[in-house]
Amino acid sequence: MTSTMLREIGEAAEAVGRQLGHNVDRLAELGARLRALDPPLVATIARGSSDCCALYLKYLVEIASGIPCASIGPSIATLYRTPMRLGGCVSVAISQSGRSPDIVDMQRAARRGGALAVALVNDVASPLAEETEVLLPLCAGAEHSVAATKSMVAGLAAGASLVAAWREDQQLADALSGLPEILRGQTAAPPTEMLEQLANARSAFVLGRGATLAIAAEAALKLKETCAIHAEAYSAAEVLHGPAELVESGFPVIAFLPSDAARQGMLPTLATLADAGATVIAIEAGGADDAHRLATAKVEATLLEPVVMIHRFYRLAEALALRLGRDPDRPRNLRKVTETL
Amino acid sequence: MTSTMLREIGEAAEAVGRQLGHNVDRLAELGARLRALDPPLVATIARGSSDCCALYLKYLVEIASGIPCASIGPSIATLYRTPMRLGGCVSVAISQSGRSPDIVDMQRAARRGGALAVALVNDVASPLAEETEVLLPLCAGAEHSVAATKSMVAGLAAGASLVAAWREDQQLADALSGLPEILRGQTAAPPTEMLEQLANARSAFVLGRGATLAIAAEAALKLKETCAIHAEAYSAAEVLHGPAELVESGFPVIAFLPSDAARQGMLPTLATLADAGATVIAIEAGGADDAHRLATAKVEATLLEPVVMIHRFYRLAEALALRLGRDPDRPRNLRKVTETL
């Protein structure tokens, strides 16, 4: 029987295609507003997987424009009740359900503080949508799996669309149009040998650099959630500063290797970890799968590589959960709506 | 024989006292400049433990002023070479050695981008000091332990001093003057039963909320570095979103419980984790140590609690390393200067 998680991974292509069609006009309008506003700062508001999506947006904004992007802790609004000073800034809230009370409160505080309030939300009939000036629906459709996949891919695509519209980046916009086709073609199961290597792991590192750091964080979250493997994300530039002390023979290191400037910085770190005994698995564009390599489809814009990579990775997480005798749709300690726990 | 780590934990009080005396005039001058500048954003530049210190500064700035604070990934300058747009902003670089090339490059890029470049540095004869307009020496003295402790406590105190001077917060300034005395009195070893509980752990969560999230991140790093325990930091508001799937009987959860508004938000989360089987250890001000509680000295300003708490925690990390038969001064995979790895 097919898991709900696997079925929804397969629906990501359709979700992205639907979203790109639906948001054309509002993206053009938002892009023009952002160029007129020329904000000194983008503030993001999100939790969990959506916060990984916010981190992707941060790298895109900073790489594309040099404008700094800050994740604002909801506690500033909900616990400390400090009025935020965000005059002339833009706030971007990201949420699948749009119902987490602290995210809604923080968006309200950002707007009161002077920010242009934008939101990337899947459920448009949500409280978050009401606190928002410019809504970008994710159009992922209802998501039933506890492990969010298609809404996450849709969120990443929405972030990239926002940046493409703002910066009038035609190359990124063109690459986005081709994304549904690329995701549709990416259906191969991960190699069995790779699953065997990972099946005995209690802990793991997931590495990225630049924009792939955002999906390393998301991948680590998914390995915890679906496989109960204690995977932790690190920048390849940080992992040798102290965390590397965990590495012993066979310790898995999963690396999201982009083809941009960050790649060359990651390779020596992976070699050092391999020397210390780590089993390194690379997720990268092109080539063929093998025991140490999960090959993703190629995409025309390097900034979109993280979207294609995490989509490919989701199949690994799902297959690994099954290999471990776990039901990816029924984690032991978790439910879909976190507030009720 | 006393470990270098333990000796340097004991030197933190003296370091903070020395720093407070040394920086009086430059803090007053910096405070006046920051009030005149009234920056829309504080950008921080740091890695490893220093990045945990930057996270503490972020909470202090946002709670005290509502001005957003963003950690800027050095890769934006070193790999992607995007010119940063930081006109009218302040950048704060934090580093013990002041020698990490990417931190130095990023500070240079921030300055070129228009930021007032401030640095918290222990080694004042460092390249980072040269790229900096306003230098706040940490005055921690030479640090020999691989696991930084006194320079970290000194960095947190410098961050709080910066905020006190900027906001002319006399209550925080007064509490800072009393900090060396409080740290000097905090010398008790952690309870043996607590060490026994932690000795079999492979993984752990370290939780904080608000400003204690910053030291949760630092504590998790230290448990990896000195004890090879895979400890990961989470906001108490995030941990139930997916990570909780790791929790099984006896899974350790170390919680830095502040006495401010964040406390009430943390308690139900700890109860949920305990119900799932977790062994919860709280680090909080006042009372007596027991198997589930590490008592810290009380401090007059709640924003300084994280400083006192992490200082108390360092003794736990050191004692646990010894209990595990490890030399806290000689990790297997790490060296003091990370660049050479």
pLDDT single digits (tens) B153-170: 999 999 999 999 999 999
Closest chain B CA to residue A76: B63
Q: What is the ipTM of this complex?
A: 0.94
Predicted confidence (pLDDT) at residue A340 exceeds the cutoff of 50 = no
pLDDT of residue A335: 54
Strand order in the sheet with B279-285: B230-235, B203-208, B252-256, B279-285, B293-296
Predicted confidence (pLDDT) at residue B339 exceeds the cutoff of 80 = no
Strand order in the sheet with A90-95: A69-71, A42-45, A90-95, A116-121, A134-137
Please check whether residue B55 is in contact with residue B213, taking contact to mean a CB–CB distance below 8 angstroms.
Answer: yes
Pull the structure tokens for residue A248.
């012993």
Predicted confidence (pLDDT) at residue A300 exceeds the cutoff of 80 = yes
The angle formed by the CA atoms of residues A70, A132 and A9, to the nearest 5 degrees, is 75
Backbone angles phi, psi at A284, to 5 degrees: -150, 165
Give A160-174 as a 3 state SS string.
HHHHHHHHCCHHHHH
> How much is the average pLDDT of A14-34?
98
User: Is the Cβ pair A80, B243 closer than 8 Å?
Assistant: no
B221 touches A: beta carbon within 8 Å:
yes
CA distances from B139 to A172, A199, B13, B15, B205 (A): 48, 48, 11, 6, 32
Which residues 44-83 of B have a C-beta within 8 angstroms of A?
47-49, 51, 59, 62-76, 79-83
Which residues in chain A are contacts of B200 at CB distance < 8 A? none
User: What contacts A73, CB < 8 A, 6 or more positions away?
Assistant: B59, B62, B210, B213, B235
User: Is the Cβ pair B242, A261 closer than 8 Å?
Assistant: no
pLDDT of residue A202: 95
Tell me, what amino acid is at A226?
T
Q: Report the alpha-carbon distance of residue A22 to residue A19 in Å, rounded.
A: 5
Superfamily of domain B4-183: Glucose-6-phosphate isomerase like protein; domain 1 (3.40.50.10490)
Confidence at B133, pLDDT banded by 50, 70, 90: very high
Q: What percent of chain A has pLDDT above 90?
A: 91
Task: For domain A4-184, give the fold.
Answer: Rossmann fold (3.40.50)
Q: Which helix (H) or strand (E) holds A4?
A: helix A4-10
Chain A nearest C-alpha distance from B99 (Å): 14
Q: What percent of chain B has pLDDT above 70?
A: 97
pLDDT of residue A78: 85
Strand order in the sheet with A203-208: A230-235, A203-208, A252-256, A279-285, A293-296
Which residues 91-110 of B have a C-beta within 8 angstroms of A?
102
Chain B nearest C-alpha distance from A65 (Å): 7
Pull the structure tokens for residue B97.
């050695």
User: Is the Cβ pair B243, A221 closer than 8 Å?
Assistant: yes
Confidence at B76, pLDDT banded by 50, 70, 90: confident
Give B158-183 as a 3 state SS string.
HHHHHHHHHHCCHHHHHHHHCHHHHH
Say which of A88, A230, A333 has its CB closest to residue B276. Answer: A333
Q: Is the dihedral of CA B189, B191, B194, B198 positive or negative?
A: positive
User: Is the Cβ pair A210, B80 closer than 8 Å?
Assistant: yes
User: Is the Cβ pair B68, A89 closer than 8 Å?
Assistant: yes
Chain A contact probe: residue of B80, B324, B330, B337 with most A CBs at under 10 A: B80
Q: Which of A165, A206, A213 is nearest to A55 (CA)?
A: A213
User: Is the Cβ pair B40, A225 closer than 8 Å?
Assistant: no
User: Is the Cβ pair A48, B265 closer than 8 Å?
Assistant: no
A111 touches B: beta carbon within 8 Å:
no
Confidence at B332, pLDDT banded by 50, 70, 90: confident
B218 touches A: beta carbon within 8 Å:
no
Residue in this structure with the two tokens 């492979």, named with its chain if needed: B202
- Ranking A5-9, A61-65, A73-77, B119-123 by mean pLDDT, the lowest is A73-77
Please check whether residue B338 is in contact with residue A234, taking contact to mean a CB–CB distance below 8 angstroms.
Answer: no
Which residues in chain B are contacts of A82 at CB distance < 8 A? 62-66
pLDDT of residue A339: 43
pLDDT in tens, A227-283: 999 999 999 999 997 899 999 999 999 999 999 999 998 999 999 999 999 999 999
pLDDT of residue A22: 98
Q: Report the alpha-carbon distance of residue B179 to residue B13 in Å, rounded.
A: 7
pLDDT of residue A74: 84
Per 3-state DSSP, what percentage of chain A is helix, strand, and coil (rounded to 5)? 50, 15, 35
Parallel, antiparallel, or unpaired: how do β-strands A252-256 and A134-137 relate? unpaired
pLDDT of residue B334: 58
Q: Which CATH architecture has domain B188-323?
A: 3-Layer(aba) Sandwich (3.40)
**For the packed helices B49-65 and B212-227, what is the interaxial angle rounded to 10 degrees?**
170
Please check whether residue A213 is in contact with residue A46, taking contact to mean a CB–CB distance below 8 angstroms.
Answer: no
> How much is the average pLDDT of A203-232?
97
Predicted confidence (pLDDT) at residue A341 exceeds the cutoff of 60 = no
Predicted confidence (pLDDT) at residue A5 exceeds the cutoff of 90 = yes
> How much is the average pLDDT of B231-257?
94
Say which of A235, A243, A245 has its CB closest to residue B332. Answer: A245
Q: What percent of chain A has pLDDT above 70?
A: 97
Q: Count of CB atoms within 10 A of residue A328's CB?
A: 25
pLDDT of residue A330: 84
Backbone angles phi, psi at A190, to 5 degrees: -75, 155
Confidence at B338, pLDDT banded by 50, 70, 90: very low
Q: Which of A109, A138, A146, A127 is nearest to A8 (CA)?
A: A146
Task: Kindly give the residue spans of alpha helices, DSSP state H, lying in chain B.
Answer: 4-10, 12-22, 24-37, 49-65, 75-78, 101-112, 127-130, 150-167, 170-177, 179-184, 192-199, 212-227, 262-275, 305-323
User: Is the Cβ pair B75, A262 closer than 8 Å?
Assistant: yes
pLDDT of residue B124: 94
Confidence at A23, pLDDT banded by 50, 70, 90: very high
Pull the structure tokens for residue A189.
């199961």
Predicted confidence (pLDDT) at residue B208 exceeds the cutoff of 80 = yes
Q: Report the alpha-carbon distance of residue B6 to residue A255 in Å, rounded.
A: 36
Parallel, antiparallel, or unpaired: how do β-strands B293-296 and B279-285 relate? parallel
Tell me, what amino acid is at A243?
P
Which residues in chain A are contacts of B211 at CB distance < 8 A? none
User: Is the Cβ pair A237, B75 closer than 8 Å?
Assistant: yes
pLDDT of residue B42: 98
Tell me, what amino acid is at B200?
N
Predicted confidence (pLDDT) at residue A338 exceeds the cutoff of 50 = no
Closest chain B CA to residue A248: B333
Please check whether residue A305 is in contact with residue A259, taking contact to mean a CB–CB distance below 8 angstroms.
Answer: yes
- Ranking A16-20, A182-186, B98-102 by mean pLDDT, the lowest is B98-102
> How much is the average pLDDT of B260-267?
92
> How much is the average pLDDT of B239-258?
94
Closest chain A CA to residue B43: A68
Q: Report the alpha-carbon distance of residue B186 to residue B297 in Å, rounded.
A: 7
Say which of A48, A241, A265 has its CB closest to residue B338. Answer: A241
User: Is the Cβ pair B246, A228 closer than 8 Å?
Assistant: yes
Predicted confidence (pLDDT) at residue B64 exceeds the cutoff of 70 = yes
pLDDT in tens, A89-140: 999 999 999 999 999 999 999 999 999 999 999 999 999 999 999 999 999 9
Cβ neighbourhood burial of A261 (10 Å; 0-12, 13-18, 19+) = middle
Predicted confidence (pLDDT) at residue B335 exceeds the cutoff of 70 = no
Which segments of chain B belong to CATH 3.40.50.10490? 4-183, 188-323
Closest chain A CA to residue B336: A241
More reliable by pLDDT, A338 or A207? A207
